[in-house]
Structure 1
């Protein structure tokens, strides 16, 4: 569908410049879309791997904790878990991936922190194992939440970029091409008309 314009050489020159810019913009956006999709697929794979790892760790921790409950008196178990010993700091920032601001989560275990808040003499090895596994899960769970949010934001950006690419590829550039053809045709018609008119004038003069 062509745009309604005055078929002049100035308009033709302007449109030819615009279509060069539009094609360059289309290529850049297409390259960005391809790179976003590539990074998105890598993140999806990492998300799947990490989720399976977290689920496996959680299953193992629950099994160990269930065994600990069966081997230790209830009051000893509750007393052992009453006061947390380890302290962590969580920093939430941002990082830029292909012009998309995504979360960046860092976790720091305070110096001198001990994941075991109890003496090991009265507790079972299964409880120690459960605590150890759960402690190792925290960084993985934070990383998982970071990746899942990143995937969501990148999916939104991919969709926005796709709409822009399609608008250029299927609407704007074809419209410019049709308009350029229309102006070129009109200018050629005018040129032929002028030549014919000049020839008639020449015949009349002679």
Structure 2
């Protein structure tokens, strides 16, 4: 029996067959999209792992240099040395398309107030502070790239989940229900056809009896 009340007519059968054809085509397209998204997702995950490792190593180097600098300099001198930065950084966000998903692209634009990265004099500061600032400057671009990669992975994962739910809905709900309804209507139409054939045969037999006055 059909899963819900339907009208067993040829028009309904034609409509359901067209709907089933569309569902099957959509199911294939969504499966192809899901597979493509999974491939892209795994590539982005590998890239994110490499970037995270590089960022963690860079931050560890910068932190170690700051630790040494803070050990050989007084807190007041360290704070004064870092009070007036020479670089101002602006981050702009664009978008790129990955399989109909808009993912962010971060761009770093620097405006240099002074020709040097160091924002302090060298007389009362340590070389470790120079190393720490240079390490932070190097890792900054990797941090932006890591943020971009992690956001891309998050957006891909969300779309993969949405696509997976749609594929499952078509595969386990819509397509089987259409198949059941098509079988139900087909069975009803065949049953009606057999009933009509039987009635026609009976009518024909009655007409012959009346015309020739005989009993079959």
TM above 0.5: yes
1:202 equivalent to 2:207? Answer no
* Distance in 2 separating the partners of 1:17 and 1:167: 18
Count of residue pairs the alignment pairs up: 206
Distance 2:12 2:79 in 1: 82
Contact 1:3 1:175 in 2 (8 A): no
Classify 1:132/1:116 alpha carbon distance in 2 versus 1 (closer, same or farther; 3 Å): same
Contact 1:86 1:113 in 2 (8 A): no
Q: Larger Rg: 1 or 2?
A: 2
Listed one character per residue, the Cα deviations across residues 165-194 of structure 1 (whole Å, up to 9, x for unaligned) are 111110011000110011111111111112
- Range with bigger deviation, 33-42 or 106-115: 106-115
Residue 147 (structure 1) shift:
2.0
The question of 1:134 aligning with 2:136 is answered yes
TM-score (norm 2): 0.85
1:177 maps to 179
How much does 1:109 deviate? 1.9
**2:100 pairs with 1:104:** no
Q: Distance in 2 between matches of 1:202 and 1:78?
A: 110
Relative to structure 1, the CA distance from residue 51 to residue 204 in structure 2 (aligned partners, 3 Å threshold; closer, same or farther) is same
Deviation at residue 14 of structure 1 after TM alignment? 0.8
Partner of 2:211: none
What is the CA distance between 1:16 and its match in structure 2?
A: 0.6
TM-score (norm 1): 0.89
Aligned to 1:95: 96
Aligned-pair Cα RMSD in Å:
2.1
CA–CA separation in structure 2 for the residues paired with 1:204 and 1:63: 107
Please give the secondary structure, in 2, of the residue aligned with 1:87: strand
Cα distance in 2 for partners of 1:198, 1:113 equals: 102
Name the residue aligned to 2:155: 153
User: Structure 1 195/109 Cα, relative in aligned 2: closer, same or farther at 3 Å?
Assistant: same
- The corresponding residue for 1:83 is 84
Once the two structures are superposed, residues 48-92 of structure 1 have per-residue CA deviations (whole angstroms, 9 ceiling, x without a partner) of 211111111111112222233344565554433221111221102
Determine helix, strand or coil for the equivalent of 2:87: coil
Q: CA offsets per residue over residues 110-167 of structure 1, 9 Å max, x none?
A: 2565322234465433222211110111111122222222222222222111111111
Contact (CA 8 Å) 1:2, 1:176: kept in 2 or not?
Answer: no
The range that moved more, 124-133 or 73-82, is 73-82
**In the alignment, what sits opposite 2:212?**
none
CA distance in 1, matches of 2:52, 2:68: 24
| Bigger mean CA offset, 46-55 vs 62-71 | 62-71
Unaligned runs of 5+ in 2: 209-216
